[in-house]
Structure 1
């Protein structure tokens, strides 16, 4: 009963203030298209119509149909929304979808995504799938340090972003029980294009975007577009951290009964990976205070720095190497796809296939510990020895007062590492057939299909660790330490050429392939105002490969001395060099299978109003988080327990949808039970069950030149148990707020559009022990557009208009005695100006 009472409480909020709703042509707008004739979902995203008319939605369902006739929770961002929001990253864009919780302060990639209170124990997107044109970019969205959003970009190619939460996403896509977000490309339905140039006014970024598409004749059309950008970015790192671009193209051949489309993508881009840095934490656990240290602003600085030099370590072949720090999160993607849809003897047959050659990875600076320079532990020279700068403009200079360095007196022990994905290649195909049969006065929609996915995961984890100071403006440098006996304990600032201490922990090589086959089907019976439907999917997976690393145990050795500087003497740091033991692999050889199902009922009470209910059981297969764990035998590669190959998600949802001229309201109550096998930051293994319930509401309103759209989600989540840590049972999952919300009011005249995008959360526990809370936040971004002539537009976007400090993550579980904590905050204010020419 609590679920529905909360729903009743939230519904009036959408009408109570003009700051909650949606404009025409945006998130809740109906789409009138040629899809009924051609079945082309890209065309379905191209044209908007008044809010009282039919709205077709095609992602994660059997057949595109009006949202009010479907027992699902769906939303979309159209091209105009994407343009006005001016999001700096994909994570910033997707947080404007209702029910989606996004932690996006890591940069352009490696953001964390979840839906409706499902757990976010680690990075990436575990339960929700990110797709491009109806197929996943990666089969698993949360590969450790290889998250899916590293390999996808939003640019002028986008026609729309569609999302489905819960519902039939469990049965119409693999490994996506929480939902699907689909980025839909333009296909040249209407002749025209644009060139847009963007520059940062108070930060270093330059970017050019272009797109053009057109019908060639009555049968052929094409679209091509992309971007190129470079700059230091929104944080001071002391080097060009963003550099690269993307090119996408497609060619469509239209037939009387369908179409065939060939598409291609080339992405070669890099961006920095921002990780937690120093945070001042004072007060008490009941009343903590969070802020910045002198000489380090949590909104603008990073522990990345051009003074750190290259990452010195053994490469994947166990040879000494220097890997560029500026690689950051790098992506090289080459993909080709073939899509077709035809009407054959009453059946709509849809075929989507794509092969992607994907490699890249992330180079990052992972802070392990932060110390006061006046109170270092003995292992790092506390009370004795000599410190000096190892890199930067003061290299060789002795530091006479470590406790006052840079005005903050902080010293960081950190792991500089490269997670190199040699191959994330995949070949993915989805073939389905749908037919509508008349049954008396009713209609029965029958769908059957087969999904096939081959996914590589070959990755090398390369580490070294060092000492550095804490400085602003990208000026942090490495520090050398020589003990009281005159013996250097570091080499060029490096404590060792491993992750930490004297072990080979996390020096790994994964060489694994996933082979997934999933037949599925659905039935939907519609009689008058009532539609009842069910769908079923059977996922079977074969996982084969090898693992290498001392973490596997069994007497494997992973540490040896290496003379990096070639002076014939092994230093203390060189004696702690991790290597990959390729002579003793562990096999990976297991199969899994599971059944997903979803049943729902929708009642179209009246033309503008519908109610629905749905129950679903889906699952997410385990990927790399199962490996190097006690779930997989290191002897024969089998699963120790058969059920360990996947995590089950059970969801109940129900609500109503209302759409009339100028106004839309959608409200959904939900309840979810979730299993999660994962690895948190710091290599903490978890084996848990969660439950969550709440209400998701979105709405839109338009009156004359004024429009507004909004969403709010209330979630009550609980960590039911953890087989490895009984102490967290009954706690609220870390960083799970009670409310997340987004509001976008807009005022549009003939030549001028102005508006704001407001996003925020309430407070949440910083860690699963529930000792200290992280404050909630409200961030306001503003946009203005000026159209001096018909085809020219000038745009101003201000992200975090009021330059607020918004903490996204606090790693420190409670108020530390020395006031030194670790965490991440959203970027401070950044202002960009764009000029666009349409033709």
Structure 2
């Protein structure tokens, strides 16, 4: 029965759009698809999506095009159970799964893979979110996601799940080239893909993109600029294949940090006067060049147009070989050089520093400042004028904000990763897989001496403000309030090793079981050097030969703990924290499937997995001893336990999957923007639904929905939060895609939405329920040439994904990140 079942369920899965089984390669012939297609991501080998006792979903390139994604995170948002907050632009997204907490940025409890190996070993590195260093383009054949389950034992540091971008390989010839451009935003993009045979047993694929423009929001400069090329070559052998990969990514995108947003009411938000955070940014052509210092006090210039710089060069190979009868060796290897940077304005607030009216902010600054002799300024009145731009010197009375410039140089996030396993099939239906995983991840970043500026709240024309007291003394000198907020130098290395084992067996014709275990060991070493806030040496910041204004004396204080206009150039005696520890964690997973019929499968699984805490551990007081060893506060790992129970049903016209899950997660975390630290436990219970239905006459609908009931079950530092709903966790998220197809055109909509959720753990301020309407239409001029129109957020909904404030009144201005407003694009594609 199992062989018949495999053939039929694979055929069904191939026909299904958003809910298909992953294509290990897009361009295989039909017979091979029917007989050999299997789940390839973080799962026991050899099982189809219908048989496997895991929750697995995928998107092919046709399904992704319908979503009108403006970033890789917007692709992930369409997968069931995945919460991908794509409000940061082309990178810097926050991604989680199944109610697992999203206490800070990145994707802590789930990994993002390319071709079966992680892009970065840790998904929440400070300013190094994984999605910063990968791009979805036409080189990708399938995006496959395994949620929970065996991800605990078939991948390190990913107990929540794995999203895998699987490349096309060119096994059958052909390709495509296309261009797209924004109708109501400034971006031009070229995509290409081509593959084919070199000879009968050697084939290749090459693909990538190039683009330029402002991006989806107005900045005043070309902030999205660069591209990617990926290449692979496969040599077929008598008993397997060897495949080589190469990738080069050189790209920069403007990233959007929290900005001023108006509270219309609790749950409803909108633009502030002269600034719409959903379509504009606080970047400006007038404020692109900054004179600052590196983390060792050396002067340097920085360019805000760089945004998130992503430079990745990777080389890898995959060997899949039958080395003995019924014995297969699979080895994947990749070495990556990863570097770049992160620079973007963050709307901060100290005391009464806004965002607010410029005169109000000037008064607050004056009341808090001291001159070079430690005396207060004359605050009988203050003057606020534009410091630069065409109207420099003119009085300014609009809104102002304190720009804490997040400025980080990513010197090295490179890694070397190898995953080796051997799988033996026995005649009695049993199988044994034994593997060994090795990863070396560097984290070398420089948090440059973050400047703080006072600027206008003004879309693409934000300008610096010059503020003086009643006597004409400079309180804010040409926009600069303080040149040295903080300075940290990170130089860390994490070596992860993990032996793992999986045992699978059949019982009768209808039952499949597997049990697996993994032992992760992390060797961490390195140092964090920190300096903050002032010093004892003056520096001529503007190079005019005079140290003046509020920087005339290094001992001066602006009332907020850092020296007025100075930076510490003497790093002697600077505080530092070394790390020098070993930590280990054992994970296991037990699952089984019951093949009730050719159309229906029931499955269940229980898993316990771990995630090494990595660099954020250094920001949490009490976790490390002076010698770098761990204290009793932490084991160096956070753990996630998951139970799943589900069914899968499939016919040629209807596919339906439902999974019940219960998740308990430990989280040790540090939040940069608030300075808060977390040592918590979360619990979530929910149901995932996904499916596809061919109605007939060209009509079909695909989609998914996830209902989650989550709460903070323990909090070591703030027990009052126990029982609250975790921040940004909605009860229901969904994607529904109705469409109509003919021989000449396709039209439809991708409806993506959420019920209301709280923006902070205090459960006071919330975002109301919303639905984004993404429209798509493709007209096939010929079999090879098509024109498409995509409209993302067609109704221009104003939706925030996060807020720095946890409570506010109607009329208040908060600091939040909204999703993009309406954006439209036209694309043409020629296939050959």
| 1: CA distance, partners of 2:542 / 2:360 | 31
Contact residue 511 and residue 547 of structure 1 kept, 8 A: yes
**Residue number in structure 2 paired with 1:751:** 744
Three-state SS of the structure 2 residue aligned to 1:65 is: coil
Q: Please report how far the alpha carbon of residue 746 of structure 1 lies from its aligned counterpart in structure 2 after TM superposition.
A: 1.6
Give the C-alpha shift of residue 817 in structure 1.
Answer: 7.6
Which residues of 2 match residues 167-246 of structure 1 at below 5 A? 167-246=149-228
Query: For residue 376 of structure 2, what is the aligned residue in structure 1?
Result: none
1:121 alignment partner in structure 2:
103
Distance 1:392 1:354 in 2: 48
State which of 268, 272, 276 in structure 2 corresponds to 1:293: 272
Residue 608 (str. 1) matches residue 599 (str. 2): yes
Match of 2:445 among 459, 462, 465: 459
Secondary structure of the equivalent of 1:713?
strand
Which has the larger displacement, 244-253 or 311-320? Answer: 311-320
CA offsets per residue over residues 257-277 of structure 1, 9 Å max, x none? 000111100100000010111
- The Cα offsets for residues 355-379 of structure 1, whole Å up to 9 and x where unpaired, read as 0000012111011031233533744
Q: Mean alpha-carbon deviation: is it higher for 374-383 or for 719-728?
A: 374-383
Does residue 334 in structure 1 map to residue 318 in structure 2?
A: no
1:68 shift after superposition: 2.1
Partner residue in 1 for 2:567: 577
Is the CA contact 1:96–1:742 (under 8 Å) kept in the aligned structure 2? Answer: yes
Give the distance between the partners of 2:741 and 2:761, measured in 1 at CA. 45
The residue that corresponds to 2:301 in the other structure is 322
Q: Following the alignment from structure 2 to structure 1, what is the Cα–Cα distance between the partners of residues 692 and 811? A: 48
CA distance in structure 2 between the partners assigned to 1:445 and 1:704 by the alignment:
45
Shift of the 659–423 alpha-carbon distance from structure 1 to 2, 3 Å rule, reads same
Task: Give the corresponding residue for 2:688.
Answer: 696
The structural deviation recorded for 1:385 is 1.6
1:633 to 620, 624, 636: 624
Q: 2:47 aligns with which of 65, 73, 95?
A: 65
Question: What are the residue-to-residue correspondences of 1:10-409 with 2, within 5 Å?
Answer: 24-30=15-21, 42-43=24-25, 46=28, 56-283=38-265, 287=266, 289-345=268-324, 346-369=326-349, 370-376=355-361, 378-381=363-366, 384-399=381-396, 402=397, 405=398
Indicate the larger mover: 571-580 or 264-273. 571-580
Residue 545 of structure 1 and its aligned partner are, at CA, apart by 0.5
Q: Measure the CA separation in 2 of the matches of 1:128 and 1:47.
A: 33
CA contact (8 A) 1:25 1:49 kept: no
Q: Distance in 1 between matches of 2:126 and 2:27?
A: 33
**What secondary structure sits across from 2:131 in the alignment?**
helix
Shift of 1:381: 3.6
Q: Secondary structure at the match of 1:627?
A: helix
Contact 1:30–1:48 under 8 Å retained in 2? no
1:799 aligns with 2:778: no
**Structure 1 Cα separation of the partners of residues 47 and 161 of structure 2:** 18
Distance 1:144 1:580 in 2: 26
Aligned residues: 785
Q: How does 1:533-552 map to 2 (within 5 A)?
A: 533-550=514-531
- In structure 1, how many angstroms separate the alpha carbons of the residues matched to 2:654 and 2:569? 62
Q: Does the CA contact (< 8 Å) of 1:51 and 1:660 recur in 2?
A: no
| Pair 1:118–1:47, CA change in 2 (3 A) | farther
Segment drifting more, 689-698 vs 58-67:
58-67
Partners of 2:386 and 2:394 within 8 A in 1: yes
**Is residue 776–residue 806 contact of structure 1 (8 Å, CA) maintained in 2?**
no
CA shift at 1:829, angstroms? 1.1
Tell me the distance in 2 between the aligned counterparts of 1:49 and 1:746. Answer: 28
Superposition deviation, residue 496 in structure 1: 0.6
Distance 2:99 2:293 in 1: 41
The separation in 2 between residues aligned to 1:659 and 1:182, in whole angstroms, is: 23
* Aligned match of 1:496: 482
Question: Any gaps of 5 or more consecutive residues in structure 1?
Answer: 1-20, 32-40
**CA distance in 2: counterparts of 1:248 and 1:497, whole angstroms:** 41
Q: Which residue of 2 aligns with 1:17?
A: none
Kept after mapping to 1: 8 A contact 2:21/2:56: no
Equivalent-residue separation in structure 2 for 1:747 and 1:717 (angstroms):
37
Q: Secondary structure of the residue that 2:218 maps to in structure 1? A: coil
CA gap 1:57/1:633 in 2 versus in 1, 3 angstroms: closer
Q: Give CA deviations for 1:616-660 in whole Å, capped at 9, x if unaligned.
A: 000110011101322443621111127430101011111111011
SS in 1 for 2:727: coil
Give 1:8's aligned residue: none
Distance 2:215 2:745 in 1: 28
- Contact 1:714–1:738 (8 Å) recurs in 2: yes
Maintained 8 Å contact 2:791/2:822 = yes
2:281 and 2:609 mapped to 1: Cα distance? 39
User: In the TM superposition, what is the alpha-carbon distance from 1:103 to its structure 2 partner?
Assistant: 0.6
* Matches for 1:415-454 after TM superposition, within 5 Å: 415-439=404-428, 443-454=429-440
Decide whether aligned partners of structure 1 residues 288 and 542 sit closer, same or farther in structure 2, where only a CA change above 3 A counts: closer
C-alpha deviations, 1:268-318, integer Å up to 9, x for none? 0000010111111144xxx55422222112321111222223132102442
1:685 aligned onto 2:683: no
Matches of 1:492 and 1:331 in 2, distance apart? 31
Distance 1:228 1:459, change over 3 A: same
Aligned partner of 2:613 among 612, 622, 629: 622
Please identify, of 306-315 and 204-213, the stretch whose mean Cα deviation from structure 2 is larger.
306-315
Unaligned runs of 5+ in 2: 1-11, 350-354, 368-379, 552-563
Q: Relative to 1, partners in 2 of residues 1:469 and 1:150: Cα closer, same or farther, differing over 3 Å?
A: same
Q: Distance in 2 between matches of 1:469 and 1:224?
A: 46
Task: Indicate if the aligned counterparts of 2:581 and 2:630 stay in contact, CA closer than 8 A.
Answer: yes
What residue number does 1:11 align with? none
Aligned position for 1:18: none
Once residues 178 and 572 of structure 2 are traced to their aligned partners in structure 1, the CA distance between those partners, rounded to angstroms, is: 50
